[in-house]
Chains A and B, each alone.
Chain A
Amino acid sequence: MAIELVKERYSNAINVVEIGSVGSSMIKIGGETALPFLFKEGSMPNAPVTALEILDCEPTDWPDTLREPFGEAIKDPVRWAKMAVEKFATKLLCVRMQSVHEDYGNGSSEESISVLKAIAKEVKVPLVVIGCGDDDKDNDLLPKASQALKGRNCLFGIATQENYRTLAATCLADGHAIIAESPIDVNIAKQVNILISDMGFDPERIVMHTTMTALGYGMEYVYSIMERSRLAAFIGDKMLSMPFILFVGQETWKVKEAKEFGMRQGVNWEIATSVSVLQAGADILVVRHPDSAKAITGYIREMMKANGK
């Protein structure tokens, strides 16, 4: 007797979020109707996307293995951005506005914005723009950044349960999508999405950042929270039907296994972490090393071959 696959069918799909304006080769994410790569159960109309991450200043604390591929360009954010797009062919660029942070020289918002504008002028790919992580600094910086990129339809972050109003209002005004963060907690993930949508923000313009850790540091927990959230979305929870963004690079290059054992190990760590979260439903993977970006993009391409078959 032939073995028949047990197939799940769901009623609800993940929202589709568009990033970028028409001229800047817009990217679409989301739209899944089943768990990742289970093409016999549903479809993934939009392949997950890899984004390279750059800063708006020289990343003085990045390990050499991460700095090396960009050479001297890493000292100049605009050149770095161009290299990420032109040499390393990233289809989505993440700019972290780190320069205003105390630990990064405490730069002025104005300076940071002028760098961002210069980057946006030079590269035409869609942009993810995130703050430095300090709420006060970000609440000053991000509205200006948002306004500077009005019309580019960027993805801005990061809104949290404690600090979402400023960013949500400014994204709403300037037509950007928003990243909603929660601390590996499905209840809070849902709550942040509600809080933001209660401000009149279209839930279909929210991307969830459920936070993560690198491989070896509790990945299983990250995975299960993502999966639980996805399953709830598939059976109809509109407040969890948002695509996921994962800052893989940020987490991976913090851990000693990635930093201390030579370049390949760090790259492999970033790839392995990415592949794990892809299986949990990641839609955007923000990575730091061009080699991992290339490998992950290749992996996604391979996995997507069965789509629609």
Chain B
Amino acid sequence: MIIIGELINGMYKDVTRAIVNREADIIQHLALEQVREGASILDVNVGPYSKDPVRDMRWLVETIQSVAEVPLSLDSTKADIIEEGLKIVKKRAVINSTSADTDRMNIIFSLAKKYNAQVIGLAMDKSGVPRGKAERVELAAIVIAKAIEYGINTEDLYLDPILLPLNVAQAQAVEVLESLREIRLLCNPAPQTIFGLSNLTQGIKTRSLINRTFLTMAVANGLTSVIMDPLDRKLMDALITAEMLLNKNIYCESFLDAYRKK
């Protein structure tokens, strides 16, 4: 399972403050904690309040890279902010993200090609969020076709069927689960599948329980990567257990420790 740590995001107040005041130690601590708890990639998002997002992105990437040697997921809706990060990353980056809109895909896949980056593709376009399994798979197929056109390996593509908040669109959760399997069958080599787990439980009290229950269901349905909070210990335990039950890791009494020794 590829775990993308979500915590370095200007949506969080402490991160915004750290960016504004250039408090490197706060960002670095978050980076190291996430890696220690199992993140293999770190998401980097300057947030909606940044006054100079290009410079902030550069600062964040440099700050993280000076302590953690992990690939970064450059998270922005603006191509110039993403490119600023791509210019200085030390490890192969992930672009987070493109929609299934042609103009957006042209920009993002050009960048991906130029900087040899991986790409997260959203099953979503200008008409809004997808309303069912079929629409998700169709949009995913459009992204795959475009990526192939740009000569991008399909295994470097992370397709996100779009997880919607449970309290807004409860019926969509099962549609996401069912779409995961089908997206994996769209091409060979199969693309990665991904979603931002926390989206599911925006504004919900029992977040942790619902997140980990849904994550185990998704893993069993073909989810290969996830954007989540790796510091949620119970969530990580559930993920490790799910993978073990799917025979991806050999069981032993201390299988949780064993996974963490990897």
Identify which of A34-42, A73-81, A127-135, A183-191 touches chain B: A183-191
Interface of B is mostly: loop
Taking the complex as formed, is A282 at the interface, i.e. its CB lies under 8 A from any CB of chain B? no
Q: How far is the CB of A169 from chain B (nearest CB, A)?
A: 19
Name the residue on B nearest A232 (C-beta): B250
Residues of A within 8 Å of B251, CB to CB, are 187, 190
Residues of chain B at interface, number, CB under 8 A: 10
Q: A187-B253, A191-B253 are in contact. List 18 more A-B contacts (CB 8 A).
A: A186-B250, A187-B250, A188-B252, A189-B252, A190-B250, A190-B251, A190-B252, A194-B257, A194-B261, A198-B257, A203-B261, A228-B250, A232-B250, A237-B250, A237-B262, A238-B261, A239-B258, A240-B250
Taking the complex as formed, is A197 at the interface, i.e. its CB lies under 8 A from any CB of chain B? yes
Q: How far is the CB of B247 from chain A (nearest CB, A)?
A: 10
- For the complex of A and B, 9 pairs with smallest distance between CB atoms: A190-B252, A191-B252, A187-B252, A239-B258, A194-B254, A232-B250, A191-B253, A187-B251, A194-B258
- Looking at the complex, which one of B252, B253, B254, B262 makes contact with A238 (CB distance below 8 Å)? B262
Taking the complex as formed, is A63 at the interface, i.e. its CB lies under 8 A from any CB of chain B? no
B-facing mask of A236-248, CB < 8 A → 1, else 0? Answer: 1111100000000
Taking the complex as formed, is B208 at the interface, i.e. its CB lies under 8 A from any CB of chain A? no
Taking the complex as formed, is B102 at the interface, i.e. its CB lies under 8 A from any CB of chain A? no
Contacting pair A190 B258 (CB below 8 A) = yes
CA of A186 to CA of B249, assembled, Å: 11
Name the residue on B nearest A233 (C-beta): B250
| CB neighbors of A among B236-262 (8 A) | 249-254, 257-258, 261-262
CA of A191 to CA of B252, assembled, Å: 5
Name the residue on B nearest A185 (C-beta): B252
Residues of chain A at interface, number, CB under 8 A: 19
Given contacts A194-B261, A197-B261, contact A237 B249 (CB under 8 A): yes
Residues of B within 8 Å of A239, CB to CB, are 252, 258, 261
Q: How far is the CB of A191 from chain B (nearest CB, A)?
A: 4
Q: How far is the CB of A237 from chain B (nearest CB, A)?
A: 6
CA of A268 to CA of B218, assembled, Å: 53
Q: A residues bordering B, Cβ < 8 Å? A: 186-191, 194-195, 197-198, 203, 228-229, 232, 236-240
Q: How far is the CB of A127 from chain B (nearest CB, A)?
A: 29
CA of A197 to CA of B262, assembled, Å: 12
Tally of contacts, chain A with chain B, CB under 8 A:
39
Contacting pair A191 B254 (CB below 8 A) = yes
Residues of A within 8 Å of B252, CB to CB, are 187-191, 194, 239
Name the residue on A nearest B250 (C-beta): A232
CA of A232 to CA of B262, assembled, Å: 12
25 A-B contacts, Cβ less than 8 Å apart?
A187-B251, A187-B252, A187-B253, A188-B252, A189-B252, A190-B251, A190-B252, A190-B258, A191-B253, A191-B254, A194-B252, A194-B254, A194-B258, A195-B254, A197-B261, A198-B254, A228-B250, A229-B250, A236-B262, A237-B250, A237-B258, A237-B262, A238-B262, A239-B252, A239-B261
CA of A191 to CA of B262, assembled, Å: 14
Residues of B within 8 Å of A195, CB to CB, are 254
Q: How far is the CB of A147 from chain B (nearest CB, A)?
A: 29
CA of A203 to CA of B261, assembled, Å: 10
Residues of B within 8 Å of A187, CB to CB, are 250-253
Name the residue on B nearest A189 (C-beta): B252
Name the residue on B nearest A161 (C-beta): B253
Q: How far is the CB of A203 from chain B (nearest CB, A)?
A: 8
Q: How far is the CB of A193 from chain B (nearest CB, A)?
A: 8
Name the residue on B nearest A236 (C-beta): B262
Q: How far is the CB of B250 from chain A (nearest CB, A)?
A: 5
Q: How far is the CB of B160 from chain A (nearest CB, A)?
A: 25
Residues of A within 8 Å of B257, CB to CB, are 194, 198
Q: How far is the CB of B56 from chain A (nearest CB, A)?
A: 35
CA of A198 to CA of B256, assembled, Å: 13
Max chain A Cβ within 10 angstroms of own Cβ: one of B249, B250, B257, B258: B250
CA of A188 to CA of B250, assembled, Å: 10
Max chain A Cβ within 10 angstroms of own Cβ: one of B251, B252, B257, B262: B252
Residues of B within 8 Å of A236, CB to CB, are 262
CA of A218 to CA of B252, assembled, Å: 23
CA of A240 to CA of B251, assembled, Å: 11
CA of A110 to CA of B203, assembled, Å: 71
Q: How far is the CB of A137 from chain B (nearest CB, A)?
A: 27
Residues of B within 8 Å of A191, CB to CB, are 252-254
Q: How far is the CB of B104 from chain A (nearest CB, A)?
A: 33
CA of A190 to CA of B250, assembled, Å: 8
Name the residue on A nearest B248 (C-beta): A235
Residues of A within 8 Å of B254, CB to CB, are 191, 194-195, 198
Name the residue on A nearest B262 (C-beta): A238
CA of A20 to CA of B258, assembled, Å: 29
Residues of B within 8 Å of A190, CB to CB, are 250-252, 258
CA of A203 to CA of B262, assembled, Å: 11
Q: How far is the CB of B75 from chain A (nearest CB, A)?
A: 27
Name the residue on A nearest B251 (C-beta): A187
Q: How far is the CB of B37 from chain A (nearest CB, A)?
A: 17
CA of A228 to CA of B247, assembled, Å: 12
